[in-house]
Each structure stands twice: as structure tokens, then as C-alpha cells.
Amino acid sequence: MPNDGLRTVAEMIRPESRITVLTGAGVSAASGVPTFRGPDGLWRNRRPETLATAEAFARDPKTVWEWYNWRRQVLSTKQPNRAHQVLASWSRRFSGFTLVTQNVDGLHERAGTLNLIRFHGSIWEVLCWNRCANSPVRWWNDQIPLEALPPLCPHCGGMLRPGVVWFGESIDAGVIEKSVAALDCDIFFTIGTSALVYPAAALSIEAKRRGAYTVELNLEATPSSHAVDLAVHGPAEELLDELNALTNPS
């Protein structure tokens, strides 16, 4: 028996609908990727500030890189799940579709998602810590394991850093611009995020202010649940599969 909330959303979706989706770590949970703040989260027993800040990196780059190197190894063994696949198919099906992901894991890319915005960067990119004049702003590096920790910049011999956004760092201006443009949509989905980290958590509020119907899909209630038009609780990979089937009646 389909969920009533999902049926309501399915009835709103039209081929010409402008759909924007914000995803978080919960979307990758079914792939076996640990979330950040859950009971088995990556940061269990650690304070995020001890690893995901520029200050932590400046103090102890080796330890921070060991964590990222380990996560890259874990991720290389994982595959996109049904949630990634449904969203990738929507990116081809709806011309007005944008996916903004907070995830740095690369699984939306591997599922073939079009029109993807990486709000917090990518664990598969690196940049020069010194931002030396000869190096590109950022570049791809999927070497596993990295041969040196910290890895070194081929241009200046200094340290590289992961291409992710740490606490206290600004989101790339171009990324903000594209994300804000995507808030002018008909339906805004927030999927698998604890909605604790800003400014990502504010996107849904702004989309609603601009007239979007806002939907949250999450295993459990979040601080955003009361602010959205519809909150549906359950695993994203199952809810998206069900919603996709409801919008594709056979």
C-alpha cells in the first residue's frame, strides 16, 4: 500500500516540473557508507572540529589525511544504491532537474547524475595547501592508497589538501550561485540529511519562501521536518523507489 504522502507528491510531478533535490549522507547509507552523526557515524567518539577544519589540518595534516585516505579506501569498495539510481534517472527525465549534494563520496556521479552541484566539494579532488601560482585551483586524484601522507603538490612540493569544504570555510561562490538559482523550482526535496549544517540546511527554507512545495525524506524527524510541507519517514532508497514507481504507472 503506497504511502499517502508519496502519492500526494507523485500527483504533483509533471514532465515539465522543475525539481531540485538536496541530498546528504543518508542517501549513501544503503551503499554501506557510514553517515556523519548517526549511531555508527564516521564521527562517533570524535568531535568533527578535530578533523574537518583547516585548523586541525594545519596542526596535524598526517592524521587528517589518514582519515581521508581511509574513507577513500572504504568508498572505493561501495556502489551507488537505488536512491542514487532513481535520482540519476530523474536527472535525465526532467529537463528542469538539479541535484545539490552535500556528499563528497562521488556516488551520485558514478550513478550517472546530470546537473549535479557538489556543495561540499569532493573527496576525489585535491588542491594545493599553499594555493601556489602554478597549480590549478583543484584537480582530480583517485589514487588509492595515496603514496604519501600528506600527498605533495607536483607544482611546488608543498602539501595537498582534500577538495572538501571544512567547517568555517565558505562554500564556493559559483556553487552558491547555481544552488540559489535552483531554488526557483516547483518541488524541492531534502533527502537523507540531518539538516544541522549551514548554509545547506537553509536551502529548503528559501525554496519554500520562493514558492516551492518542500518535501523531506529521512529515516527520522530532523529540525527541518516542521518547516517543510511534507515529511515522510523511511529509508530514502525505498521511498524514492516507491515514488518513482508512482510517477511511472505501468
Judged by beta carbon distances under 5 to 8 A according to partner kind, the member of Zn ion, ligand BJW, none in contact with residue 160 is: none
* Among 26, 165, 45, 126, residue whose Cα is nearest residue 84: 26
Which is nearest to 89 in space by CA: 218, 228, 243? 243
Interaction partner, residue 153 (ligand BJW, Zn ion, none; CB < 5-8 Å by kind):
Zn ion
153 near Zn ion, judged by CB under 5 A: yes
Name the residue nearer to ligand BJW (CB basis): 44 or 155: 44
Options 45, 134, 170, 250; binder of ligand BJW; rule CB under 6 A: 170
Q: How far from 216 is each of 10, 16, 146, CA to CA, in Å?
A: 14, 21, 37
Closest CB to ligand BJW among 147 and 198? Answer: 198
Strands 230-233, 213-218: pairing is parallel
29 binds ligand BJW (CB under 6 A): yes
CB closer to Zn ion, 35 vs 141 = 141
Strand order across the beta sheet in which 160-164 lies: 139-140, 121-128, 160-164
Minimum gap (Å) between residue 231 Cβ and ligand BJW: 11
CA–centroid distance for 88 within its chain: 14
Residue 222, interface with ligand BJW (CB under 6 A)?
yes
CA distances in angstroms from 129 to 133, 161, 165, 173, 174, listed in the order given = 11, 6, 13, 19, 20
Interface with ligand BJW (CB under 6 A), residue total 35
Instruction: Pick out residues in 93-132 that bind Zn ion (CB under 5 A).
Output: 128, 132
Total number of residues binding Zn ion (CB under 5 A)? Answer: 7
Per CB under 6 A, does 5 bind ligand BJW?
no
Cell of 221: 524527524
| Catalytically active residues, by annotation | 120
Could you say which of Zn ion, ligand BJW, none residue 192 binds, taking C-beta under 5 to 8 angstroms by partner kind? ligand BJW
Other CB atoms within a 10 A radius of the CB of residue 206 amount to 16
| 43 burial level (CB within 10 Å; 0-12, 13-18, 19+) | middle
Residue type, 92: R
Q: Strand 187-191 vs strand 116-118: parallel, antiparallel, or unpaired?
A: unpaired
Q: How far apart are CA 73 and CA 203, in angstroms?
A: 31
Of the two residues 38 and 96, which places its CB atom closer to ligand BJW in the complex? 38
Interacting partner of 61 out of ligand BJW, Zn ion, none (Cβ under 5 to 8 A depending on kind): none
- 134 touches ligand BJW by CB under 6 A: no
**Contact residues for Zn ion, defined by CB under 5 A:** 128, 132, 135, 153, 155-156, 158
**Contact residues for ligand BJW, defined by CB under 6 A:** 24-26, 29-30, 35-38, 41, 48, 52, 102, 104, 120, 164-170, 192-194, 196-199, 218-220, 222, 235-236
